[in-house]
């Protein structure tokens, strides 16, 4: 008998991404994950929100072609980010905010094996996290929780102390938390210090990962270099894909350090494959 449950439910908003050349494209963690998961046989369900813009509608159609199921709430607008590449790295501005995600509005369908919360801004409230079924394995990409939006709308990282107490408490009950080094620059500059601060904030339960591009990934117990460096290709969504592959299919409780390391090694290989595919050099 075939198990029709999704391997992973991803919760997060679709985005409209605008670039310096005047072009626009759909984006967001949900889309980056679905693009990588579908060719690899990972059954992903999507819970998202989007507005009526043609770019966003196109993104939803792509999601429906890739994912096992897509539930999308309708907002007045889709979150719209302006991307600029600078000598110091990529900079983002939030041009328009979108609407919230309320899981009570959706049909959960077949219970997923795991749930990955992947916000891009402030579309997922703490009460959404506390309302998730405690039975599946749960993970979160912290990026969207660690962003502030200045008066000029530029996206900047916030310190962990700025997280609402209810949000930190909810995240402390998750199985896996993943953050990029850039996401945690409001707290510290080095991954080891960032991990220490994150552990102090969320307590002992979650497994913690800090990603740092070509410099690899860090956990409390180890550092892994990337399996191979892929240069000259866009890396947007790499951290999202890494987190999704880490979590898909469920985790034992408790998960050993060896289990987490093996999952991280496999996820890093998938990310390298995806980047090579973007460059037409898939092996």
Q: What is the structure's pLDDT at 281?
A: 44
Specify if 168 maps to a domain.
Answer: yes
Task: Kindly state whether residue 126 falls inside one of the protein's structural domains.
Answer: yes
Residue 259 domain flag: yes
Whether residue 3 is predicted with pLDDT greater than 60 in this model: the reply is no
pLDDT in tens, 27-47: 999 999 999 999 999 999 999
Indicate the pTM of the whole model.
0.93
Q: Prior bond to 254 cis, omega within 30?
A: yes
Q: How many domains does the chain have?
A: 1
Residues spanned by the domain of 76: 8-277
Residue 2 lies in a domain: no
* CATH number of the domain encompassing residue 27: 3.40.1190.20
Is the model more confident about 177 or about 19? 177
How far is CA 30 from each of CA 23, 35, 41, 158, rounded to the nearest angstrom? 20, 9, 16, 23
- Summarize the confidence of residues 249-262 as an average pLDDT: 89
- Residue 3 falls inside a structural domain: no
Q: Does 123 score more than 70 pLDDT?
A: yes
Q: Is residue 253 part of a domain?
A: yes
Going by their DSSP bridges, the two strands 15-18 and 24-27 should be labelled as antiparallel
Q: Is residue 283 part of a domain?
A: no
* pLDDT at 126 exceeding the cut of 90: no
pLDDT at 282: 42
At which residue do the structure tokens 């299919």 appear? 249
């Amino acid at each position: 008998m075939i198990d029709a449950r999704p391997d992973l439910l991803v919760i997060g908003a679709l985005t409209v991404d605008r670039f310096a050349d005047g072009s626009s494209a759909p984006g967001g963690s949900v889309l980056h994950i679905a693009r990588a998961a579908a060719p690899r046989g990972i059954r992903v369900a999507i819970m998202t929100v989007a507005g009526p813009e043609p770019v966003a509608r196109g993104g939803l159609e792509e999601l429906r072609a890739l994912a096992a199921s897509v539930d999308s709430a309708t907002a007045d607008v889709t979150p719209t980010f302006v991307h600029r590449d600078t000598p110091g790295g990529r900079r983002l501005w939030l041009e328009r905010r979108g609407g919230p995600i309320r899981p009570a509005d959706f049909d959960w369908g077949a219970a997923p094996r795991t749930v990955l919360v992947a916000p891009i801004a402030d579309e997922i409230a703490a009460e959404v996290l506390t309302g998730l079924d405690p039975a599946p394995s749960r993970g979160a990409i912290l990026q969207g929780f660690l962003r502030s939006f200045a008066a000029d709308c530029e996206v900047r990282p916030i310190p962990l102390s700025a997280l609402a107490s209810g949000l930190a408490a909810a995240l402390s009950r998750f199985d896996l938390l993943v953050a990029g080094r850039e996401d945690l620059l409001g707290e510290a500059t080095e991954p080891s210090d960032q991990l220490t601060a994150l552990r102090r904030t969320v307590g002992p339960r979650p497994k913690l990962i800090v990603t740092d591009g070509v410099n690899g990934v860090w956990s409390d117990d180890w550092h892994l270099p990337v399996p191979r460096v892929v240069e000259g290709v866009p890396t947007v969504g790499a951290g999202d894909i890494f987190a999704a592959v880490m979590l898909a299919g469920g985790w034992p409780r408790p998960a050993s350090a060896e289990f987490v390391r093996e999952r991280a090694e496999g996820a890093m290989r998938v990310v390298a494959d995806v980047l090579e595919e973007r460059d037409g050099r898939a092996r």
